[in-house]
Structure 1
């Protein structure tokens, strides 16, 4: 980790080992909505949960899987499985978030996500069946 991501200061008076700090992900700062509100949420998906139906967010979201496995799919990207210790991000806006379900049939999956959304607007905006049909060519082929 270079100095641009240093999150630890040397402490010559320390009597314990320094914190272990690991950069999990880094992306260029995406555009954030005017009048942005930042929120961090903790999500627990029951075993086998499909998660939310297709939706979008008014701004970018950054997350980290705490335990389990999450099915994650954004418009134009292949569906993928994110495991505990892996991170994700999405730019929000017009992009459809197709999946955020639990990939495990017999265990919970937990993740934390920090979202930059428009204050006073819903965090999740459902996408209609009609719009999904209109944009089906933008969805990556399913495995």
Structure 2
């Protein structure tokens, strides 16, 4: 299933939930606060991607990080036939699993990534970008002929 989601300014997004399968998304406008169980909150900006594995992992946040503008993303969700695409998580289960949630950052304020931050899921940077080591091809391990 492919869905486009538009979040009004300052929207908290969906309540904590999970999906039966993986989800892959792309922010088409604005900034989204994204948080999965066991990972810190992060800001996903226009042109950036996100994903979640689905299954037992709780998706805590997909809120709008902008207090004065809409944000929008498109997401492709793969799920189990005959089951709902979004399964809300009860308050009781959240309390039982609170030790699995990463420490929260700047609760109640707009999040900004730290200087030099890049997504942990971002592809390696191109050669020539400061701070990145360029990979060199491995030499052949075959003996010379």
Q: Normalising TM by the smaller chain, what interval? A: 0.7 to 0.9
Residue aligned with 1:110, SS: strand
| 1:77 and 2:39 are equivalent in the alignment | yes
Indicate which of 88, 93, 97 corresponds to 2:59.
97
Say which structure is richer in strand.
Answer: 1
Give matches, 1:89-128, under 5 Å. 89-128=51-90
Query: In structure 2, how many angstroms separate the alpha carbons of the residues matched to 1:89 and 1:53?
Result: 17
Q: Distance in 2 between matches of 1:118 and 1:49?
A: 28
Establish whether residue 138 from structure 1 lines up as the match of residue 100 from structure 2: yes
Could you say what secondary structure the match of 2:93 adopts?
helix
Write the distance in 1 (CA, Å) between the matches of 2:80 and 2:93: 22
Using the size of structure 2 for normalisation, the TM-score is 0.71
Q: In 2, distance between residues paired with 1:76 and 1:111?
A: 23
User: Deviating runs (4+, > 2 A) in structure 1?
Assistant: none
Matched residue, 1:40 = 2
Unaligned runs of 5+ in 2: 106-145
Alpha-carbon offset, residue 78 of structure 1: 0.4
Q: Distance in 1 between matches of 2:46 and 2:59?
A: 20
Superposition TM-score, scaled by structure 1 size: 0.72
Whole-angstrom distance in 2 between the partners of 1:77 and 1:63: 17
Encode CA deviations 1:8-39: one digit per residue, 9 max, x unaligned. Answer: xxxxxxxxxxxxxxxxxxxxxxxxxxxxxxx1
Instruction: Say how many residue pairs are matched.
Output: 105
Q: Deviations over 1:42-79 (max 9, x none)?
A: 10001111000000000000000001000000000000
Shift of 1:120: 2.1
Q: Mark the runs of 5 or more structure 1 residues left unpaired by the alignment.
A: 1-38
Does the alignment pair 1:67 with 2:16? no
